[in-house]
A and B are shown apart, each in its own frame.
Chain A
Amino acid sequence: MILPASYRLRLPLSLSVSAIATALLMALAVGLQTLANLREDQGRNALSLGHAMAGVMIQALRTDDVWLAYSLLRGPEGGGADSIWIVADANGRIFASNQPRRYRLDQPLREALPWLPEEGDAVLGQPTGRVTPVAQDEVRRLLRLPLAVDDSRVGELVALLSDAPYLPRFREILLGGVLVTVVVLGVLLPLGWLWGRRMVAPLVRLADCMARVGREDPRRMSCAVQVDASEIGQLGQRFSSMLDALAEKAELERQVVQAERLAAVGRVAAGVAHEVNNPLAGMLMAIDTYRGTREPDAQTRQLLDLLDRALQQIQGTISALLVEGRADTRHLRPEDLDDLAILLQPRLVRSQAVMVWRGAIARPLGLPAAPVRQLLLNLLLNATEAARAGGLVRLRLAQGEGELRLHVDNTGEPIPPERLPHVFEPYSPDRPQERGLGLWVCYQIVTQLGGHIRAAVEDGVTSLRVALPLGREGRE
């Protein structure tokens, strides 16, 4: 049998087909069993009827009373009985039968029934008579009952039994079975169909969801798969885990790509800065030397000052690009944070923002003071600028699990989600008016310190979250 590919149809169909097959086989089995029982009963009944008639038959044979034998065989049904009964006399001639037109009086039994087995010991040895199966068109079982008085044969009673009375009953049983089957199936099939579909439904949902993998971003996929102890539930669970792993992998890849891009930009910037820095230092030194050895006139001094300032500006810009872990061994102390608060005060006043400071450090931490100060200052200045008038700036400091966590929040205009992955790139196109190196510098510092930084927007609050690993001193 060719089943459709989908279990959506296959399972309900299989249930229905097995229900139908079971019902039909049951009907057939009951029918055949009944037929066998009826046949057995028929043989037994015929034998007892033969015994019941034997006495009168012997009397009829001895007194040559054909009518008596006939009226007994004819019975209340007349000639319409399903079984054929024949009495033969001692010479093997028909004495009476319940079908007198077919089995004529005085006709030799052997002529009427040529197929009748020879009377051997099989029959004579069975004075109580016996029923044997025969394979004739109309006759299925043959009863032979010898009629004897004191061991002297006076005749024989023969009954030809057919299936005719039972076939209609057999058909009736079969038909009844089929009808019952149809009725039962009328109830069972829709139930089985629904049940099958219900059983298959989680599998179908899982398959649908799986088909979406590869076409959709696993981080945004949500699938209502069944998760329980059943095999399908376990499959669902594994699938959910797989989706999570895929989402994690995609996120990692994205971070790696971003980090690599930022690192590449950093390397280019650092290279350019080094190349520019050396001639710049030379030019500044030349101007200084010139001033020390000569007394320039007013016009020259003015020119030199102009040059000096321009070169200093270039150097300032370059040094901003050139973020390097300086050989600063001083550890971050609580006072550094106090300094930051003081440094920020004028800016807060000017922007009318409110600063909330949570958490503090109790003792020096295993982190270099200068980069962390620069990092925090940058972050806080950015936040103050973004918070605008009346906005809130919040710093949260927390120490734990070998790292220092710094969260800087502001309630200003949130960063649009599509811009979040790009906030750490220099000269961000969405803020063209700024120098745009603030967050990039922060990123460089955090990366050099071995930590990580990310930007997030939650409930309209922009949050920059930094985690810095602590050195040995800080952990003690």
Chain B
Amino acid sequence: MPSCTRRAFLTATLAAAAVRSARSEAPPLRFGVTPVMLDDELGFLNRWARWLERQLGRPVVLVQRSRYRELLDLLLRGRLDLGWICGYPYVQHRKELSLIAVPRFQGRPLYHAYLIVAADSDLKTLADLQGRLFAWADPDSNSGYLYPRFLLTTSGKDPDHYFRRTFFTWGHPRSIDAVAEGLADAAAVDGYVWETLARRAPQRTAGTRVILRSPAFGFPPLVASAALPDALRRELRRLFLAQVQDAEGRALLADLNLDTFSIEEETLYDDIARMAARLAQGAVG
């Protein structure tokens, strides 16, 4: 999921996909992703899209947006058929979106939020972070925004004034870089992203140290727009569930550092919904 500086390349890719779709009889499936999770993965995403295309027998168009909010808007307005979004926006719009599949990471459809500081820093707990520089990932991210704010609120702190200054990086990998390079003293990041980056590019996570692991939350799900026909929705579910049985699909899963996809109940995201509700109260209160 490349950053916006890759837009030119992306445009070319989309144009190529559009040409391909024009040849096809069936309308293309529009699949939305954001760089909030992983960046610099255009090659991988394209391979995934091509694999889906072959399985579905219809064109797949990858749509990238730099923020969760944009992606969510597109999904809600039916401009996207499928999206990989965070659990936090999902719980806010459960009624308008249908859960297709949930990735399984380290054997479970769950992940953790990590609180990280610079590796050479002497900060050890959340309490040490008061008056420091803090990087949020995205205002619609569970691990990079909702959970740390919930943690502070439940500890009786005002998340808006607890830190000296905060800013958004619009991506978990960038938050990791910001901490490693000293731009921020600490950040809250997606534990799956951190672990995956630690495997793929250990030099990037080497500059950071995890000081806090959150309880397990439901993994960011693949959701479909409400407008997506049931037949296609079922086909997609079947496809993602069976991906692990296909050799190429398995390789793609390995690249994503995921085990497989599974069908989960909506209740998987109740914890996130509770945190969101708590913060909404706090905001109102």
Contacts and interface: CB of A to CB of B under 8 A. Distances in A.
Interface string B145-186: 000000000000000000011011110001000100111100
Contact of B183 (A64, A65, A100): A100
Interface in B112-163: 133, 135
Given A66-B183, A100-B182, A101-B182, A106 B169 contact: no
B182 A67 contact: no
B182 A66 contact: no
A74 B5 CA distance: 14
A67 B165 contact: no
Interface string A93-106: 00010001100111
Contact of A64 (B167, B170, B181): B167
Nearest to A106: B165
Nearest to B5: A71
A402 interface: no
B178 A106 contact: no
A447 B183 CA distance: 124
A78 interface: yes
Contacts of B135: 67
A399 B184 CA distance: 127
Give the size range of A's interface with the partner: 10 to 19
A70 B133 CA distance: 14
B133 A67 contact: no
A436 interface: no
Interface in A54-90: 64-67, 70-71, 74, 78-79
B122 to A, nearest CB: 14
B183 A70 contact: yes
A270 B167 CA distance: 142
B133 A104 contact: yes
Nearest to A72: B5
A140 to B, nearest CB: 25
Given A64-B167, A65-B167, A105-B165, A79 B184 contact: no
Contacts, number: 36
A67 B181 contact: no
A131 to B, nearest CB: 26
A100 B182 CA distance: 5
A78 B181 contact: yes
A100 B183 CA distance: 5
Contacts of B169: 67
B236 to A, nearest CB: 34
A64 B174 CA distance: 16
Interface in A441-464: none
Contact of A100 (B168, B170, B181): B181
B164 A70 contact: no
B167 A105 contact: yes
B174 to A, nearest CB: 6
A63 B174 CA distance: 18
> Taking each of B135, B167, B169, B170, which has the highest tally of chain A beta carbons within 10 Å of its own beta carbon?
B167
A105 B168 contact: no
A65 B184 CA distance: 13
Contact of B133 (A65, A71, A74, A106): A106
Contacts of B168: 65-67
Given A65-B168, A67-B174, A105 B181 contact: no
A79 B169 CA distance: 17
Contacts of A104: 133
Contact of A105 (B170, B174, B183): B183
A78 B178 CA distance: 11
A360 B133 CA distance: 137
A100 B181 CA distance: 7
The 7 closest A-B pairs by CB, nearest first: A101-B182, A66-B167, A100-B183, A106-B165, A100-B182, A67-B169, A105-B133
Given A100-B182, A106-B164, 4 more contacts: A66-B183, A67-B135, A71-B174, A100-B178
16 contacts: A64-B167, A65-B168, A66-B167, A67-B167, A67-B169, A67-B174, A67-B178, A71-B174, A96-B183, A100-B181, A100-B182, A100-B183, A101-B182, A105-B165, A105-B184, A106-B165
Interface of B: 133, 135, 164-165, 167-170, 174, 178, 181-184
